[in-house]
Chains A and B, each alone.
Chain A
Amino acid sequence: MKRRLFIACRIIFGLIFVYASLDKIAHPGLFQEAVMNYRILPGALTGPVAVTLPWLEMVCGAALASNLWPRGAGVVLNALMAVFIAAMGYNLYRGMDVHCGCFTTDPTAENNMTLSMIRDGGIFIAGLLAAYGVFSENGQGDAA
């Protein structure tokens, strides 16, 4: 039962990142705008991040969901989740309710940073369970 939970978390967590990367890969310019909105990175780094981050999400998400290099993918994706939540928390602390840019690059999409943080917190818990399962070799399915 516990093993099934870990496997489910691994697949769902990986697929969430694959889904989240699609719109960003399709619209790097708009994603750069979303990254710039956070006003955390220097302007010169927003372009490189907008180009590479979605592919890191795509590759690691697909790797984790398909149980290929699951440990590395689990570490990278959980680190990304921690960074995303920290960035949103930092902006909430500064009083900036910027567009999340998590799943869509549409700047007109409805946005609530607090709700985005709560949602990401839930995803993060699934990610930590997935990583625990992968590292304890409990959630790697038959391929392990």
Chain B
Amino acid sequence: MNTPETNKIQGAASQGVEKTADEAFANGTAITYKFSVWPATTIDMTMLHARPLRTVLDILILIVLSLVLALAVNAFRTESLPVFNDISAFLSGEADIPEIPRLTPAQAREAAQSVGAVFIDARSPDEYAEGRLPMAVNLPPEATEDEFTAKTLLLDQATPIIVYCGDAACGRSDLTAVRLARAGFRDVSVLDGGLGAWLNDNGELEPGL
């Protein structure tokens, strides 16, 4: 629309209006030019020249305001998320939050039988009570620090741990796995597809309480 050589707006010229782009920007919405996309429809392109710098400034104000509110509220929460630790770990490339490997049901079964991998059930206590993988320990991601310590106290940090939740759509196993990895457990993985995939693979369940 805007030719750099002449600094004229072609659409404006075609309507018999001679104005430079600079004048258009200076006036905010100085030029109205339209084009037809359908016999009965025209699109007003004036908005493309509507104070772009002002819009960018508005965006910056809104983003800064949102960030300040988000960080302030997070700081005053009793269970705040470690935002700055996560960002610094991401920026420095540290393995603060390692990529958690995913195991198929067959691989999980093999790990449990051959190297004594322990199953961790990340579902809610109610779901856990209805039935679980053999010898699984219930450790939902929202467990308190005391609960977390009590349930992992007897585990050696080199013990292979396999975390699972309901199905492929649940993310609780990832959260618990990350928490375990952060606590120093070195061999943490997630059962891909969760309990649903385990049952589809004819995996056995420990009956409910």
Which positions in A face B, CB cutoff 8 Å? 25, 28-29, 32-34, 36-37, 42-48, 50-52, 54-56, 58-60, 63, 69, 71-73, 75-76, 96-99, 107, 111, 132, 135-137
Contact = CB atoms under 8 A, between A and B. Distances in A.
Given A71-B54, A107-B172, A47 B66 contact: no
A51 B81 contact: yes
A133 to B, nearest CB: 10
Interface in B36-94: 44, 46-47, 50-51, 54-63, 65-67, 69-71, 73-74, 77, 79, 81-83, 86-87, 89-90
A32 B55 CA distance: 30
B99 interface: yes
A34 B171 CA distance: 7
Interface of B: 29, 44, 46-47, 50-51, 54-63, 65-67, 69-71, 73-74, 77, 79, 81-83, 86-87, 89-90, 96-97, 99-100, 141-142, 168-172, 174-175, 178
Contact of A97 (B50, B61, B70, B169): B169
Contacts of B96: 44
Contacts of B62: 56, 59-60, 63, 69, 72-73, 76
A59 B66 contact: yes
Given A37-B170, A59-B66, 10 more contacts: A48-B83, A50-B81, A52-B66, A52-B70, A72-B59, A73-B58, A96-B169, A99-B170, A136-B47, A137-B50
Contacts, number: 123
A143 to B, nearest CB: 14
